[in-house]
Amino acid sequence: MTFHTLKKWLSGAVTAFLFIILIFMVLIVISSKASGGEPSIFGYQFKTVLSGSMEPTFQTGSIIAVQAVNNASKLKKGDVITYKIDKTTTVTHRIHEVKGTGNQTKYITKGDNNDNRDFKPVLPENVEAVYTGFTVPFVGYFMHFAQSKEGTALLVILPGVLLLIYSVIMIWKSFKEIDRHKKKEEVSSTDA
């Protein structure tokens, strides 16, 4: 492989990488805005961990994948659930105890890192999702930022600007290469 071929291949790889990053960022932003919060992909919703109540199961700043629950009255002790405590706040804790059955079911929850159980029992209708076991550390900080107005603007605009700058540099280099070849041809034609 010649240097010129390697350079051309690297150029294409960098362009493809920047384009993929741009598309990925746009998808994350659109998914976040469409769902009104965390992004949702292939039926999995990604939640940002904002507290240490479930450490070491998942760390603060991680993202976790949760899946919607069809029948919340069938959950069992040990399941990690995401539930609403009010209109705007959700919590993800482990079911410590199940009380009652059917329509009378109530879940007593507790964060793995908490000393005490949660104050209020969770009703099945307040359960939104179950933790799938998928966690990515530290990405939650990024996701939380992506949901802000500034983050949305930065994540959509920055990859596009980087791709544009890279394209301008590559065009400039191409013109320079063409100019160099023309000068070389002029010199060889005057020598003949």
Q: Which two three-digit tokens encode residue 141?
A: 């900080």
Residue 11 annotated in active site: no
Q: Which residue is listed with tokens 């400039």? A: 172
Q: What is the mean pLDDT of the chain?
A: 80
Cβ atoms of 82 and 130 closer than 8 Å: yes
Going from N- to C-terminal start, the domains of the chain cover 13-172
Considering the candidates 32, 40, 51, 174, report the single residue annotated as catalytic: 51
Task: Provide the pLDDT for residue 79.
Answer: 92
Compute the distance between CA of residue 126 and CA of residue 108 in angstroms, rounded to an integer.
13
pLDDT in tens, 78-90: 999 999 988 888 8
Quote the CATH superfamily of domain 13-172: Umud Fragment, subunit A (2.10.109.10)
| H/E stretch holding 111 | none
Q: Which two three-digit tokens encode residue 99?
A: 């009380």
pLDDT in tens, 136-153: 887 777 766 766 777 777
pLDDT of residue 93 exceeding 90: yes
